[in-house]
Chains A and B, each alone.
Chain A
Amino acid sequence: MTAQKKIHKDILYFVLSIIAVLEISPVVITLLNSLRTNSEIKTAAIGFPSVPQFSNYLKAWNIGGYAQAFLNSLIISCTASCIVLAASILSGYFLARIKCRFTRLLHVYYGFSLSISTFSFLVPLYFYFSRMNLVNSRLGIILIYTATNLPFNIILAATFISEIPRTLDEAAIIDGCSTYQLIGKIIFPLAKPLITTILLIVFVSTWNEFTLANTFLQLPEIKTAATKYVFFVGERGSDLSLIYSAGIITMIPIVGIFLLLQNYFIEGLTSGSIK
């Protein structure tokens, strides 16, 4: 019985490992190809580099204008995540603590907003923004990202804060804290897991976002890293090694954070969906 079970377990490990290898093989192939020369890739699409061409990265970085693209992405993602964080904790706190008709209505409103797809507002918003000179501007895309990320994170924050016992609030109130002091001094330090989750969710989703960035950021010098990559491949599609090395450059920040934080990252990104 136990011997049979062990064989079963071995088969299980074998199957699961094969699937895992297949699952990450596109990334590994990309990594290998990013270090090969153009002619190597043309003769064999998959293979090991004979001599690792680290210069590919330098070339892709310079030709692609990645310094500018990373700066754009960094500014946009950081600003959007900080604004969303502050707004969600504020809204979440009041939605969790004050029970009146207005807050209940807001809860429903944000829940309903989750189901609004990008395409329901994309066309009018684009033409409004182009009239207000907010197309091709970092400010414009930050405004949109903040708005689209709000509902989910507000609900997340409200759920988390409603689990913090109220007695802590009351003690602080008796000691004479104002509401904003209370949020800053009591709720904020207690909500560390919430804060990292929100920052992670917003940062990753805005860094990777394609549809809105592709629509609202059309000039090459204002594009984010992900959309810059699409543009880059369109311009230099014949240069195969550069496609792969630029791909690695573009995915490295997020994949790097992911591999560093691993399970914490997974739980952060899927929190809220579970429940």
Chain B
Amino acid sequence: MEVITVYSHAVLYRESHKRKMKQNQLSKKTYQKKELHAAMLALVPIFLYHFCLVVLPSLNSLTSSFTNWNGLLTKKFIGLENYRNLFRDTDFYEAFFNNIKWMLLFITIPVICSILIGFMLSHIKRGRSTLRVMYFLPYVISAAIAGKIFAAFYNPYLGINSWLKDIGMPFLAFDWLAPSHALLSVAFVDMWHWWGFLLVIFMSALQQIDPMLYESAEVEGASELQKLRYITIPSIKSTLVFIILVSMVWSVSTFDYVWVMTKGSTGSSILSTMLYKNAFLKYKAGYACTISVFQNVLALLIFGIFNFVQRKTEDN
């Protein structure tokens, strides 16, 4: 008797389980269909929104670069006239070389500083996170504020110059934002703000390094410098390459610190400030678009060269 009830229970259970499985499979299919619907309902509008606000105007920049557009009236196609003018423009060469200078500064000084200090920080435990917070602090201050405050410091009459004279370093008290070194003074502020961010990125890369490597190096009697050269740098190579690539690409279209501090006046004009002036002060929107196309070509070139070099080194 008992055996039969158990058996019938088992059969019933199996039957119902089978039915449930079947239902599940069926509902899974209808669910997948519904899910796809829901996905398209979300993905497509968001994509279109981004496309219309960012990619479409970017493409418009490209087509406008062949016109004499002034931003307001209709455009007239003028072929390569803007490009010809650009390559004849002496302002353009000044701006371009300033961008190159900016790039060279940013792929060396902040990168070297942040690796060295990250390496030093990896040797200590107590107080490390407090120090990290202090180094990172400038990164959260807006370029608008930092730029203007440093411009006040740089003021030749009311800024830090009088203080520099007081502490006996009058040779440092020059006009910081004068054309001959305005770019360096501005770049200094941007680097002050930027290197803390790099430091955090390098610190997390340094943490991934196997401590065994350092230990065995210590047994072999390697100096700190040798450890940095033969263990640390090779281990963080991929992060380093990425940071250099990003710094180079960003240098091409850097803008805010320069605009806030000098508005790209002589000596510190860069491609972006030249573009901005042409578009919004001189109403030469077509010409401004030409500069933006040049910036993008430059960025693509950097990407291309990086890809090429990376593939070459991987082959070897």
- Please give the residue numbers on chain A whose beta carbons come within 8 Å of chain B beta carbons, in ascending order: 9, 12-13, 15-17, 19-20, 23-24, 26-27, 29-30, 41-46, 87, 90-91, 94-95, 97-98, 102-103, 106, 109-110, 113, 115-128, 143-144, 146-148, 150-151, 154, 173-174, 176, 178-180, 204, 207-211, 214-215, 226-227, 229-230, 233, 240, 243-244, 247, 250-251, 254-255, 258-259, 262-263, 265-266, 269-270, 273-274
Partner of A94, one of B39, B150, B249: B39
10 A-B contacts (beta carbon < 8 Å): A91-B46, A117-B296, A121-B53, A123-B279, A123-B289, A143-B53, A147-B53, A154-B46, A270-B204, A273-B201
Q: Is the Cβ of A250 less than 8 Å from the Cβ of B150?
A: no
Within 8 A of A (CB), among B131-150: 131-150
Instruction: Return B66 CB to nearest CB of chain A, in Å.
Output: 13
Shortest B219–chain A CB gap in Å is 14
Closest to A9 in B: B124
Report chain B residues within 8 Å CB of A90: 42-43, 46
B47 touches A20 (CB 8 A): no
B38 within 8 A of A: yes
B-chain residues with CB within 8 Å of residue A176 when the two chains form the complex: 27
Q: Could you say which residues of chain A place their CB within 8 Å of the CB of B260? A: 210, 230
What residues of A have a CB within 8 angstroms of the CB of B200 in the complex? 266, 270
Interface string of B273-302 (1 = CB under 8 A from A): 001000110000100110110011001000
Q: Are B142 and A251 in contact (CB under 8 A)?
A: yes
Contact of A179 among B34, B137, B152, B163 (CB under 8 A): B34
Using Cβ atoms and an 8 Å threshold, which residues of chain B touch A211?
255-256, 259
Contacts of A251 in B (CB 8 A): 141-142, 145
Chain B residue nearest in CB terms to A180: B38
Which of A119, A148, A259 makes the CB contact (< 8 A) with B295?
A119
Complex interface residues of chain B between 26 and 50 (CB less than 8 A to chain A): 27-28, 31, 34-36, 38-39, 42-43, 46-47, 49-50
Kindly state the separation between the CA atoms of A44 and B158 in the bound complex, as whole angstroms: 8
Whether the pair A124, B54 counts as a contact (CB closer than 8 A) is: no
Q: Is the beta-carbon distance between A120 and B163 smaller than 8 angstroms?
A: no
Which of B143, B160, B272 contacts A208, CB < 8 Å? B143
Min Cβ gap A244→B in Å is 7
Q: Which residues of A contact B64 (CB under 8 A)?
A: 123-124
Q: Are B249 and A115 in contact (CB under 8 A)?
A: yes
CB <8 Å contact, B127 and A13: yes
Q: Which of B28, B49, B140, B149 has a CB less than 8 Å from the CB of A255?
A: B140
CA of A144 to CA of B28, assembled, Å: 39
- With A46-B160, A94-B39, A179-B35 in contact, do A266 and B54 touch (Cβ < 8 Å)? no
* Chain B interface main SS type: helix
Q: Is the CB of A266 within 8 A of B285?
A: no
A87 to B275, CA, bound (A): 32
- Number of CB contacts from chain A to chain B under 8 A: 255
Interface assignment of B182: CB less than 8 Å from any CB of chain A: no
Q: Assess A23 versus B160: contact at CB under 8 Å? Given A30-B149, A123-B292, A173-B28.
A: no
CB closest chain-A residue, reference B257: A210
User: Roughly how many angstroms separate A118 CA and B55 CA in the complex, as a whole number?
Assistant: 11
Question: Count the B residues whose beta carbon is within 8 Å of the partner chain — how many?
Answer: 90
B196 within 8 A of A: yes
A44 adjacent to B145 (CB under 8 Å): no
Question: Which 10 pairs show the lowest CB-CB distances between chains A and B?
Answer: A208-B142, A121-B57, A147-B53, A117-B253, A124-B60, A226-B144, A179-B38, A94-B39, A20-B134, A124-B57
What is the CA–CA distance of A204 and B143 in the complex, to the nearest angstrom?
12
A97 to B288, CA, bound (A): 42
The answer to whether B58 and A120 touch across the interface, beta carbons within 8 angstroms, is: yes
Tell me whether A119 and B253 are in contact (CB under 8 A): yes
Q: Which residues of B contact A (CB under 8 A)?
A: 24, 27-28, 31, 34-36, 38-39, 42-43, 46-47, 49-50, 53-55, 57-58, 60-61, 64, 71-72, 117, 120-121, 123-124, 127, 129, 131-153, 158-163, 166, 192, 196-197, 200-201, 204-205, 249-250, 252-253, 255-256, 259-260, 272, 275, 279-280, 285, 288-289, 291-292, 295-296, 299, 303
Are the CB atoms of A255 and B53 closer together than 8 Å?
no
CB distance from A70 to the nearest CB of B (A): 13
Q: When chains A and B are docked, how far (Å) is the Cα of A115 from the Cα of B192? A: 24
Q: Are A247 and B42 in contact (CB under 8 A)?
A: no
- When the two chains form the complex, which single residue of B161, B197, B204, B292 contacts A122, counting CB atoms closer than 8 Å? B292
Chain B positions within 8 Å of A148 at CB level: 53-54
| Complex: chain B residue closest to A19, CB-CB | B117
Which of A91, A143, A247 is in CB contact (< 8 Å) with B43?
Answer: A91
Q: Are A151 and B162 touching (Cβ within 8 A)?
A: no
Closest to A91 in B: B46
> Which of A87, A110, A119 has most chain B Cβ within 10 Å?
A119
B61:A123 contact, CB within 8 angstroms: yes
Closest Cβ–Cβ distance, residue A175 to chain B (whole Å): 11
* Minimal Cβ-Cβ distance residue in A for B152: A243
Q: Which of chain B's residues have a CB closer than 8 A to the CB of A270? A: 197, 200-201, 204
Q: Which residues of A contact B36 (CB under 8 A)?
A: 98
* A20-B131, A243-B152 known, 17 other contacts, Cβ within 8 Å: A27-B137, A27-B138, A30-B149, A94-B38, A94-B39, A94-B42, A103-B39, A113-B50, A119-B253, A119-B272, A125-B57, A146-B49, A150-B49, A176-B27, A229-B145, A255-B137, A269-B197
Q: How far is the CB of B87 from chain A (nearest CB, A)?
A: 19
A45 pairs with B153, CB closer than 8 A: yes
